[in-house]
Amino acid sequence: MRQPIQQQDYSALLAIQRDLRRSILPSRFEQAQETGPRTLHLGLRTVDGLHWLELSWCVEAPRLFRCPPPTRGKGRSTLAQQCQHGLGGQVLVELHQPPWERLLEFRFAPRPDSPIQRRLVLELMGRHSNIFLLDADSRILSIGRQVRASQSRLRPLASGDLYLPPPPRPLAWPDPAAGPDPWRKAVERSHGSLAEALVASHAGVSPLLARQLCDDARLDPAAPPATLSLQAWETLHGAWQQWLQALAGDALGFRPWRAGYRVWPAAGSQDEPESSSTFPEARYYGPLLLQQQLQRRQQRLEQTLRQALAREQRHLAQQQQRLQGVDEQGRLQRQAHLLMCRSDGQSLGHRRLHLEDPMGGPGETVVLRPELTLIANAQQRYARVRKLRRSVAAIMPRIATHRLRSTALEDHLALLELHGTETDHHNHVALLEDLEEELGRTGLLRRGGGERQGSRRRRGTATRPLELLSPGGVRLQVGRNSLQNDRIALREARSGDLWFHAQELPGSHVVLKAAEAERVESRDLQAAADLAAHFSRGRGSGRVPVVCAASETLQRIPGAGPGLVRLRGYEVLWGVPCHGAAMVADQRQAAMPSLS
pLDDT tens digits along 134-148: 999 999 999 999 999
- Do residue 249 and residue 125 come from a single domain? no
Would you say residue 411 lies in a domain?
A: no
- Number of domains composing the chain: 4
For the chain, give the percent of residues with pLDDT over 70. 93
Q: Looking at 278, 310, 330, which one is the last position of a domain?
A: 278
- Do residue 270 and residue 310 come from a single domain? no
Looking at residue 31, the DSSP 8-state letter turns out to be E
pLDDT at 77: 78
Looking at residue 320, the DSSP 8-state letter turns out to be H
Would you say residue 265 lies in a domain?
A: yes
- Do residue 124 and residue 19 come from a single domain? yes
Would you say residue 403 lies in a domain?
A: no
- Do residue 251 and residue 376 come from a single domain? no
pLDDT at 2: 62
pLDDT at 501: 95
Would you say residue 135 lies in a domain?
A: yes
Low-confidence ranges of the chain (pLDDT < 50): 448-460, 591-596
In what helix (H) or strand (E) does residue 194 lie, and over which residues does it extend? Answer: helix 194-201
Would you say residue 435 lies in a domain?
A: no
Residue 359 to residues 332, 343, 344, Cα–Cα distance (Å):
17, 15, 18
Residue 257 forms beta bridges with which residues?
A: 260
Q: What is the dihedral of CA 24, 33, 77, 18, to 10 degrees?
A: -30
Q: Which of 43, 32, 151, 26 is nearest to 93 (CA)?
A: 26
In what helix (H) or strand (E) does residue 32 lie, and over which residues does it extend? Answer: strand 27-36
Residue 155 to residues 35, 58, 100, 149, 410, Cα–Cα distance (Å):
28, 19, 20, 8, 49
- Do residue 513 and residue 585 come from a single domain? yes
pLDDT at 595: 41
Residues 164, 152: contact at Cβ < 8 Å? no
Would you say residue 446 lies in a domain?
A: no
Domain that holds residue 489: 464-590
Neighbours of 163 (CB within 10 A): 18
The residues, ordered by sequence, that sit 6+ positions from 22 with a Cβ below 8 Å of its Cβ are none
pLDDT at 561: 75
Q: Looking at 346, 365, 389, which one is the last position of a domain?
A: 389
The pLDDT tens digits for 460-503 are 456 788 899 999 999 999 998 888 898 999 999 999 999 999 99
Would you say residue 40 lies in a domain?
A: yes
pLDDT at 457: 44
Would you say residue 409 lies in a domain?
A: no
The dihedral through the CA atoms of 573, 576, 581, 586 has a sign that is negative
Residues 309, 406: contact at Cβ < 8 Å? yes
The residues, ordered by sequence, that sit 6+ positions from 392 with a Cβ below 8 Å of its Cβ are 323, 326
- Do residue 272 and residue 326 come from a single domain? no
The whole-angstrom separation of Cα 555 and Cα 490 is 8
Instruction: Give the CATH number for residue 136.
Output: 2.30.310.10
- Do residue 581 and residue 473 come from a single domain? yes
Instruction: Give the CATH number for residue 257.
Output: 1.10.8
- Do residue 256 and residue 308 come from a single domain? no
pTM over 0.85: no
- Do residue 80 and residue 136 come from a single domain? yes
- Do residue 570 and residue 515 come from a single domain? yes
- Do residue 14 and residue 131 come from a single domain? yes
Q: Looking at 389, 417, 432, which one is the last position of a domain?
A: 389
Q: What is the Cα Rg of the chain in Å? A: 35
Q: Which of 107, 125, 105, 106 is nearest to 115 (CA)?
A: 107
- Do residue 474 and residue 583 come from a single domain? yes
